[in-house]
Amino acid sequence: MAVTDIAALSLEPGLRLLGLDLGEKTIGLALSDRLLTVATPMQTLKRGKFAADAARLDIIISEQGVGGLVVGLPLNMDGSDGPSAQSARAFGRNWVNHSPLPLVFQDERLSTSAVTRTLIEADASRKKRGEVVDKMAAAYILQIALDRMRR
């Protein structure tokens, strides 16, 4: 089930949200706490075909008690869909056909650049930034959604 607004998302108490930053080669993952207040970077998965990605996500969802997905939607600066946003929407359509778990899109404009800037300010090496930027971007996206849920 696709949910258009995070405020409309209804979860059973104690279930978490899983944030996804969908890249061409990787999927950054972040996990909320059970109170739905804090997003924590989790891991980065190497991207493959949807069926393989969904199977790995199903395992994580089961192990972590996840009740819904927040997927970053990389809109163009003018709010229009480019190729990356179209790819994210295709993932969402495939997910809705794959799983009953709700999925909501969260505008992620500038999330990767914000995370990269933070890592540079923290004096992280280029190699370290490359290793963590996707999962940190997923946490950034998920945190925006969690903050919007509380409003």
Sign of the Cα pseudo-torsion (141, 31, 4, 74, in order): positive
- Does 3 or 44 have the greater pLDDT score? 44
Domain count, the chain: 1
Domain of 114? 15-150
pLDDT score, position 25: 93
pLDDT score, position 151: 78
Sign of the Cα pseudo-torsion (54, 58, 60, 61, in order): positive
Q: 1 in a domain, yes or no?
A: no
Q: 98 in a domain, yes or no?
A: yes
Q: 8 in a domain, yes or no?
A: no
Q: 7 in a domain, yes or no?
A: no
Q: 6 in a domain, yes or no?
A: no
pLDDT score, position 117: 65
CATH number at residue 109: 3.30.420.140
> DSSP strand E in the chain: where?
2-3, 16-22, 26-32, 39-46, 66-73, 103-107
Q: For the segment 35-86, what is each residue's pLDDT rounded down to a tens digit?
A: 999 999 999 999 999 999 999 999 999 999 999 999 999 888 888 888 999 9
Question: In terms of DSSP bridges, do strands 16-22 and 39-46 run parallel, antiparallel, or are they unpaired?
Answer: unpaired
Q: 130 in a domain, yes or no?
A: yes
pLDDT score, position 126: 63
Q: For the segment 17-41, what is each residue's pLDDT rounded down to a tens digit?
A: 999 999 999 999 999 999 999 999 9
pLDDT score, position 138: 94
pLDDT score, position 114: 62
Q: 5 in a domain, yes or no?
A: no
Q: 80 in a domain, yes or no?
A: yes
Token readout for 1 is: 């089930």
DSSP secondary-structure letter at 79? S
Q: For the segment 82-122, what is each residue's pLDDT rounded down to a tens digit?
A: 899 999 999 999 999 999 999 999 988 766 666 566 656 66
pLDDT score, position 75: 87
Residue 129 has pLDDT above 60, yes or no: no
